Amino acid sequence: MLTENQFNNPADSGALIPFSLNSAGDDVFLVEADAAGNLLRFADRVEFSVAPEGMTFGRYPDGAGSFDLLRGVTSGGANTTAIPAYGEWVATQFPPGTASSSMALAADPDSDGLSNLLEFAFKLDPLKPDGSPINLQPAAAGTPLQFTFTVRTDVTGLANRIDVSSDLTAWDTTEAAVERLSTVPNADGTATVSVRLRPNPPALQKHARIMISL
């Protein structure tokens, strides 16, 4: 493993060349040389942009795959799994110069209560306040709760789960009390999902939430 400090180390006469990587984006060339410093061959080149806080760029599978945005920072260890779709979304949604912290999965830079992960999943604008992505459907009194939501279906690993609860404390995460009525694909890589809670058990009809994971 090489770090920036090794290239600016006055204690090492072979590593006095000033070197650093720009946190706003840069590119790196790897060239093989002999012991005398003669360049032998080009080995690799990568180009990167600013990484959301808590993430980095690297190859996945470790050392062999494509160069993508990774889930975490693992200097000296095996690379975490890649989430290239999130990297592509970040690149299109946030202007150059955006703080790394504003692009993290858990960040909410537009303060609409929806994290960037949710903005990404529901295909919303992370820099403009949005309302709830859940659309409650009109229903007669006494009938089960019914709602729709539109979520991306074009991202590998992006999943949603409907939890229900009677007290907002204990949640049923099995979807046993949930009936998915339909999933209608849209042209933009999303699908509109229609959900109804099952009439039984009645105690579970009070609250529902959508859990998004990536």
Residues binding Ca ion (CB under 5 A): 108, 110, 112, 114, 124-125, 130
User: What's the CA gap between 138 and 147, in Å, rounded?
Assistant: 9
Per the CB < 8 A criterion, the answer to whether 110 and 126 are in contact is yes
Whose Cβ is closer to Ca ion: residue 121's or residue 124's?
Answer: 124
Query: 3-class secondary structure for 36-101?
Result: CCCEEEEEEEEEEECCCCCCEEEEECCCCCEEEEECCCCCCCCCCCECHHHHHHHHHHCCCCCCHH
Task: State which amino acid sits at residue 47.
Answer: E
The pair of three-digit structure tokens given for residue 166, joined into one six-digit string: 């009677």
Whose Cβ is closer to Ca ion: residue 130's or residue 175's?
Answer: 130
Least Å distance, CB 132 to Ca ion, is 11
Whose Cβ is closer to Ca ion: residue 83's or residue 124's?
Answer: 124
Whose Cβ is closer to Ca ion: residue 48's or residue 149's?
Answer: 149
Instruction: Decide: residue 119, CB within 10 A, 0-12 exposed, 13-18 middle, 19+ buried.
Output: buried
Least Å distance, CB 129 to Ca ion, is 6
Whose Cβ is closer to Ca ion: residue 124's or residue 208's?
Answer: 124
User: What's the CA gap between 24 and 94, in Å, rounded?
Assistant: 13
Least Å distance, CB 103 to Ca ion, is 12
Q: Which residue has the tokens 């709602």?
A: 147
Least Å distance, CB 149 to Ca ion, is 15
Whose Cβ is closer to Ca ion: residue 61's or residue 113's?
Answer: 113
Least Å distance, CB 127 to Ca ion, is 7
Least Å distance, CB 214 to Ca ion, is 15
| Strand ranges across the sheet with 146-152 | 135-136, 146-152, 190-197, 178-185
